[in-house]
Structure 1
Amino acid sequence: MRIVQASQVVAESKFNKFHLLVFLWCFFAIAFDGFDIALYGIGLPLMMEEYQLTLVEAGAIGSYTLVGMMLGSFLLGSLSDIIGRKKILAICMFLFSVFSLLAGLAPNATIFTIMRFIAALGMGGLMPAVIAVMTEYSPKKNRAMIVAAMYCGYSIGAIIASLTGMLLMESLGWRFLYWLGIIPLITLPLFLKQFPESLSYYILRNQGEKVSSILNKIDPRGNYQATDDYEYVSLKERAKGFPAKKLFLNNRAVSTFAFWTMVFSCLLMIYGLNTWLPKIMQNSGYGITSSLSFILVLGIGQIVGSLLGGYLVDRVGHRKVLLFMYLIGAICFVSLSVTSNILLLYVLIALGGACTGGTQNLINPYISEFYPQEIRTTGLSLTVGVGRIGAILAPLIIGLLLATNLEPQHAFMAFAVPSIIGGIALLIVQEKYGSFDRIVKTAYSYPKTEKKSV
């Protein structure tokens, strides 16, 4: 019986049809997650008129929704290490699909908030699961780029929502956007048929047939068998105990708190911009279509930042790239608060997207690779869950700022602060205690009594 290290087989593999299948499904799921999250800010101006909401009330509804995302990240994201990431993804897609439709049918603000809250549970639980799956199934050589490209689906979803709003919202109303959220539910049976479960899930349950089937798709030349030993004993030993507690063991505590701060800062900026950017620009004198165009530019910036950042990370490492992006983000937001030139505004908003959404897209695989495989989703889920506090506070804080006599555009100054805090937290991360690159030279080994032949 040969001993096979499944994680190394994946790490040393070349991107093929199997990787592409995982990528496309993760991309699809996160795209609709981004679509649904962006809907609130896009439809907010018309919704405020219909429901007669004040700025503070609108900000509060956005924050209530983000509480649901935080709970979803804590509960559903952490459960994926127990019941499987595939099941959690299916549950999340069901929740945000069905209840986004119901939110679009809500007769008043109270019912809307309840439906949106339940949908947000699915939105919050989905992100850690797709990132963990994509990280697990990506070749090591270009892992950062693959995960960043996958997470661009979030920005693509937001862009599609913006374009749909620009083209159809004035004629069909804001509710129509929410009705489109039912699409993932239609695709769910195909997802359940095609999408693979996590390798670690199968290994912990001694399902060698499932593991060998997946590994033969990843590495067709490996000729992996159900009778191979996929390190069942060692993985089960590492998986013992309470997963959340392990985030603070083996000198990981300082880095765990640093990750929480980094994600808190990024999500505060991301959700503050997604919720209030159209309204800030509308109050600054731009029409509703022009205001929505800024969301479109923001999404494009997130995509470019993610792809370019992922390319650089694979070459110079996460720390240098992320630190640079935090610094540029702070400068960008200070500049936005004092700029009136329309072309420069578009450039700065695109840059802001790159240094917020793009930065978060690169932080996710950084965190995922730091923790061992058996607590990877738990680590990412709890980090994102704590970070959601920033997302919850963002709509309310910016709403309160806009309710004062402050010039609307000066609200951008507030986003520079979390960018600086995130950069400081990054410097505190202790990479030497992470699981980066801890892979031996051979993907499998043989007992001493067996000849080295397959």
Structure 2
Amino acid sequence: MKEINVNNFIDNQNFKRFHLVLLISCIFIIVADGYDMFMLGAILPQLMEEWAMDSVTAGKIGSYGLLGMMLGAMIFGPIADRFGRKSVILICTFIFTVFTFTSGFANDPFSFGVQRFIAGIGLGGVMPNLIALITEYAPKNLRNTLVAIMFSGHAFGGILASLGALVLLPIFDWRAVVWVAGLPLFALPILYKVLPESYSYYMKENKKEKLIPILNKMNENDSFDKEDVFIMNKTDDTDTSFKKLFIEKRALSTLMFWVAAFMCLLVMYGLSTWLPKIMQSSGYPVGSSLLFLITLNLGAVVGAIFGGKLADRFGSRKVLITFFIIGFLSLTALSFRPNAIVLYILLFIAGGTTTGTQINTNSYVSQFYPSGIRSTGVGWELGVGRIGAMIGPALGGFLLSSQLPLQFNFLAFAIPCIIGAIAIWLVQEKYGQSTGNINKDNFNIGDLKLHSERKSI
């Protein structure tokens, strides 16, 4: 009989085939999520023309999906902490895929908006659980990097949406772009087979027979069996109570995470929804304006992965504050109408330091909270952030309808970056749980009885 600390075992693993399969599966889902979310910005000019919508009405349609995402994150995060993450991930994927596909049959803004709202519930619900699942199984020295790589698939989905619009819109219409979103349905049986369940869920439910096969996939030197005892760190217990977000001196940090997400998502969704239209109003053709959106999302992919590597080395807090400040500077510089080359460079940097910053903020949050409230913590951070995401498209619509100078359009999205930097600066890392870069306390075999008595199976 052996006594195994599951936290330490996973923390000290090298990247193996198990991690690769998990990463690819989660990337596939988040790419589909990103495609479904960001395609609205690519098809919005054609929707406005076909349905004779003004920019304010179009902005409201963008907000319907974001309202669904807010509710989905707040509802499905806590549900997954209590009932398991795998089934919630698959259910949410089914919801957003089906209702995005069916929105392609809408004939008016109302029916399209209702289906965007329902799809948004699935889109929002899947995100915190993918982040939490990757965080749980990632080796400690790769945790930020793997979460960033996975979640950068969201921005890559935005790139695919823009490319799909470039190819399909001249031949068909916006409905073809939407119907492509139904393809991931065929992958659900494969995802059901390969996705693992959360180890903390198995620990909570005393399902040792389900936990052992998962751990053995990462265990090259030995095999675990039912005679072994599996324990978790006391600081990573399986209590799923929502109030744990605010006790043990975590209240200020929780609120600051919410402020940072609010500001970052306001910028992220405001730009992704209205950048093509903003650039069109400045005299650029539709094709060029879509290329600007591609550049923004490409920067997000690179910025997220680069930021994740930096966070694994230097700590998330320093990296996030720096990225927020760079985001402010790049968006401010865009307001001065730079030449074409500088414009693309600034859009690339802006994508990396806005969407990329949000991706790494999610990773930071997922490591701050204990496993039992990890999906809850990330879900509510993203859920409150969706309020900013709803305001972003509405703000962009208001600015465009007011026909203000280009400088005001970009400055309105630059100022929230400074507020986000201040919020992350106020996070109190010393009150976070003892994994990732939050603090450096480790538990070894000699400490197990003292620190891990809360949960064993």
Scaled by the length of structure 1, the TM-score of the pair is 0.95
- Please state how far the C-alpha of 1:340 moved relative to its aligned partner: 3.6
Is the Cα contact below 8 Å between 1:9 and 1:443 reproduced in 2? Answer: no
SS of equivalent residue, structure 1 residue 223: coil
What is aligned with 1:100? 100
Which of 378, 383, 386 aligns to 2:384? It is 386
Is the Cα contact below 8 Å between 1:3 and 1:446 reproduced in 2? Answer: no
SS of equivalent residue, structure 1 residue 230: strand
Structure 2 distance, partners of 1:421, 1:243, is 29
Is the Cα contact below 8 Å between 1:3 and 1:444 reproduced in 2? Answer: no
1:220-369 matched pairs, under 5 angstroms? 220-231=220-231, 238-240=237-239, 243-369=241-367
Is the Cα contact below 8 Å between 1:102 and 1:115 reproduced in 2? Answer: yes
Structure 2 distance, partners of 1:252, 1:383, is 13
Is the Cα contact below 8 Å between 2:13 and 2:218 reproduced in 1? Answer: yes
Structure 2 distance, partners of 1:288, 1:226, is 62
Which of 430, 439, 442 aligns to 2:442? It is 439
- Please state how far the C-alpha of 1:239 moved relative to its aligned partner: 3.3
1:77 aligns with 2:77: yes
What amino acid does structure 2 have at the position aligned with 1:280?
I
Structure 2 distance, partners of 1:148, 1:64, is 27
| Distance verdict in 2 for CA 1:36–1:233, change over 3 Å | closer
Structure 2 distance, partners of 1:103, 1:239, is 39
- Please state how far the C-alpha of 1:229 moved relative to its aligned partner: 2.0
Structure 1 distance, partners of 2:170, 2:217, is 48
1:151 aligns with 2:154: no
SS of equivalent residue, structure 2 residue 226: coil
Is the Cα contact below 8 Å between 1:96 and 1:119 reproduced in 2? Answer: yes
What is aligned with 1:452? none
Is the Cα contact below 8 Å between 1:280 and 1:409 reproduced in 2? Answer: no
Task: State the Cα deviation string for residues 161-218 of structure 1 (Å, max 9, x = none).
Answer: 1111112212211111110111121110111111111111111111111111111111
Structure 1 distance, partners of 2:396, 2:52, is 19
Task: State the Cα deviation string for residues 282-340 of structure 1 (Å, max 9, x = none).
Answer: 11111111110011000110011112111111111111111111111111111111124
Structure 2 distance, partners of 1:97, 1:82, is 24
Is the Cα contact below 8 Å between 1:5 and 1:443 reproduced in 2? Answer: no
What amino acid does structure 2 have at the position aligned with 1:369?
Q
What is aligned with 1:10? 10
Structure 1 distance, partners of 2:261, 2:293, is 21
SS of equivalent residue, structure 1 residue 171: coil
- Please state how far the C-alpha of 1:91 moved relative to its aligned partner: 0.8
What is aligned with 1:32? 32
What is aligned with 1:67? 67
| Distance verdict in 2 for CA 1:133–1:382, change over 3 Å | same
- Please state how far the C-alpha of 1:267 moved relative to its aligned partner: 0.5
1:164 aligns with 2:168: no
SS of equivalent residue, structure 1 residue 98: helix
Is the Cα contact below 8 Å between 2:235 and 2:433 reproduced in 1? Answer: no
Instruction: Give % identity.
Output: 43
Is the Cα contact below 8 Å between 1:4 and 1:229 reproduced in 2? Answer: yes
What amino acid does structure 1 have at the position aligned with 2:206?
N
Query: CA RMSD, aligned part only?
Result: 1.8
Structure 1 runs not aligned, ≥5 long: 448-454
Structure 1 distance, partners of 2:368, 2:42, is 35
What is aligned with 1:407? 405
Structure 2 distance, partners of 1:405, 1:184, is 40
Scaled by the length of structure 2, the TM-score of the pair is 0.94
Structure 2 runs not aligned, ≥5 long: 436-440, 451-457
- Please state how far the C-alpha of 1:231 moved relative to its aligned partner: 2.5
What is aligned with 1:116? 116
What is aligned with 1:214? 214
- Please state how far the C-alpha of 1:407 moved relative to its aligned partner: 2.1
Structure 2 distance, partners of 1:62, 1:290, is 22
Structure 1 distance, partners of 2:298, 2:334, is 17
What is aligned with 2:438? none
Is the Cα contact below 8 Å between 1:2 and 1:444 reproduced in 2? Answer: no
Is the Cα contact below 8 Å between 2:7 and 2:232 reproduced in 1? Answer: no
What amino acid does structure 2 have at the position aligned with 1:226?
K
Structure 2 distance, partners of 1:233, 1:73, is 27
- Please state how far the C-alpha of 1:234 moved relative to its aligned partner: 6.3
Task: State the Cα deviation string for residues 348-385 of structure 1 (Å, max 9, x = none).
Answer: 11110011011011111111110011111111111110
Structure 1 distance, partners of 2:339, 2:314, is 35
| Distance verdict in 2 for CA 1:62–1:144, change over 3 Å | same
Is the Cα contact below 8 Å between 2:129 and 2:375 reproduced in 1? Answer: yes
Moved more, 429-438 or 377-386: 429-438
What is aligned with 1:54? 54
- Please state how far the C-alpha of 1:277 moved relative to its aligned partner: 0.4
What amino acid does structure 1 have at the position aligned with 2:227?
T
Is the Cα contact below 8 Å between 1:2 and 1:446 reproduced in 2? Answer: no
- Please state how far the C-alpha of 1:2 moved relative to its aligned partner: 3.1
What amino acid does structure 2 have at the position aligned with 1:288?
V
Structure 1 distance, partners of 2:449, 2:425, is 42
What amino acid does structure 1 have at the position aligned with 2:255?
F
